Amino acid sequence: MNLDLRTLTVSEFLDRTFSIYRHRFLLFVALMAPQAVLSLVAAMLWAWASVFLQPSGDFRLERLVGIVIGSVIGAIVFVLGHWVLYVLGVGATTAAVSDLHGRMRPEFGPSFGAAVRRMGPLLWLTFLMTVRIAGVFAAAAVFPGLLLGIAAGMGAFQPGAGGAALVVLVAGFTVLVLAMVVAFGFALFMGLRYALAIPAAVLEPIGGRDAIRRSIRLMRGFFGHAFLLMICGGFVGWAASMVLQMPFIVATLVVGPETRTGFWLNMAGTATGTAGQTMTAPIVAIGVVVLYFSARVRHEALDLQVMTQALAPVPVPGPGPAVGFAASPPPPPLPN
């Protein structure tokens, strides 16, 4: 594949993303598969538990406490495991796409090795991004929560509540809905600003906070690219999941979800739906790295830097970086 370094139009950006995905399909699916396998196991365990752990006639409090404690521990283990595997998968995909831009042949082992070496900064980066975006929704819920608390104190949730209490209650719910809509829009804007943080953390390499600042700087002029990539990736993933899962959903409804056959059909549908998401998950991860190189070409003339570096004397062979562009000329210093 000839992945020349240049600023890409929207159509060229999407074409390159899907071209990389198509030509290295098995590699990228394998890189993103570990987190999908964990999700599949968790989904099947949940489906099994929902059927075989139903309350019975001799249901006791001890059993309920055991189920709740087991569910909480399982959820914590799943979230932490999924977080680590997601970071490794996206980091390895970043390394593989970088190798393609560096005219190298991407392989599973070296790509995962590059992600493992940057796992600490990547975990810190994704934690910071999650906290910042979650903080938007938390802040948006403060004032509506205060209004709903006042309404509850006035007895708005009691029969025969007064008119003033109901007015405060309605105002609280109205403000809550509006605040969540605004928070969602602002969180989407923040997510687009942070889109290039993971490639920056893997390829430059820098810490989590600096990667966020780098992404905000590089994303100027590329919000449309990132938003369109998100829409396309989400739609393709949803379509693939529905095509593979829908026949089993229909069959389960026909035979009855409570029957043994319905149970196994539901399990098969869960597996095929997860497979569809796994096959399409690399699209967004690939596109983000393609966008990272396009943004660096526009804002920092990366193509000229690489061309100048190629004209320099050939260095003595020695151990080199595992990522194709990890040794590219350093970016301009971050503003204070």
CA nearest 13: which of 306, 325, 326, 289? 289
Owning domain of residue 86: 10-54+62-305
Domain assignment present for 216 = yes
**What pLDDT, on the 0 to 100 scale, is given for residue 322?**
39
**What pLDDT, on the 0 to 100 scale, is given for residue 241?**
82
CA 285 to chain centre: 8
Domain assignment present for 257 = yes
Question: What does each of the 336 residues of the chain score in pLDDT, given as a tens digit?
Answer: 667 788 888 889 999 999 999 999 999 999 988 888 888 888 777 767 666 555 555 556 666 677 778 778 888 888 899 899 999 999 999 999 999 888 788 899 999 999 999 999 999 999 999 999 999 999 999 998 898 888 888 777 777 666 787 888 888 899 999 999 999 999 999 999 999 999 999 998 789 899 999 999 999 989 999 999 999 988 988 888 888 888 888 888 888 877 778 778 878 888 888 888 888 889 999 999 999 999 999 988 887 777 776 665 545 444 433 344 543 444 555 444
| pTM flag (> 0.85) | no
Domain assignment present for 106 = yes
- 223-255 vs 260-280: helix axis angle to the nearest 10? 160
Domain assignment present for 1 = no
* Residues 35/86, Cβ–Cβ less than 8 Å: yes
Token couple for 333:
């210093």
Domain assignment present for 108 = yes
The domain tally of the chain equals 1
DSSP 8: P
Domain assignment present for 317 = no
Domain assignment present for 325 = no
**What pLDDT, on the 0 to 100 scale, is given for residue 266?**
79
**What pLDDT, on the 0 to 100 scale, is given for residue 324?**
45
**What pLDDT, on the 0 to 100 scale, is given for residue 53?**
58
Residue 61: CB atoms within 10 Å? 7
E strands, 138-184, where? none
Distance CA 307, CA 301 (A): 10
Distance CA 98, CA 292 (A): 10
Domain assignment present for 324 = no
CA nearest 210: which of 286, 300, 114, 128? 128
